[in-house]
Amino acid sequence: MKNTDRKLVASGLPFKRIVTLSLAIDSLAIFVSLLFQNNLPPEIPLFYGKPRGNEQLLPKIYLVLPPATALIATMVNVGVAKIIKDKFLQKLLTSTVAVTSVMAAFAVYKTLSLVGNF
């Protein structure tokens, strides 16, 4: 292994705190969506891109889908960022993790605030 490769492996990922925060946001969004299942109607609108009606509706357990997808995307992006050697691509992958997590948490929040019975 070259000396530069050792530095890369030793230094790890850029934005470690952002990755950790993204994992925490995803986990919290999953926990909150499971916690408030009793306050939701049996079906919730999740596919807003589809025409109004039954095509938008899914069972309430599927509210876990956006943060779970963001969690999987976080793990995939971190795995790819560890493999590649280009610092710019590493930073790009780890920063998209934060955007994905925030968007997924916002989707859970908006769904809970729109159709939740609090």
Q: What is the pLDDT of residue 11?
A: 54
Q: How far apart are CA 101 and CA 107, in angstroms?
A: 10
Strand partners, 44: 58
pLDDT > 90: percent of the chain = 64
Q: What is the pLDDT of residue 2?
A: 54
Listing DSSP states for 8-44 in one string gives HHHH--S-HHHHHHHHHHHHHHHHHHHHTGGGS-SEE
CB atoms within 10 A of CB 5: 10
Q: What is the pLDDT of residue 40?
A: 93
Q: What is the pLDDT of residue 14?
A: 78
Taking all residues of the chain, what is their mean pLDDT, rounded to a whole number? 87
Show the tokens assigned to 66.
Answer: 């956006």
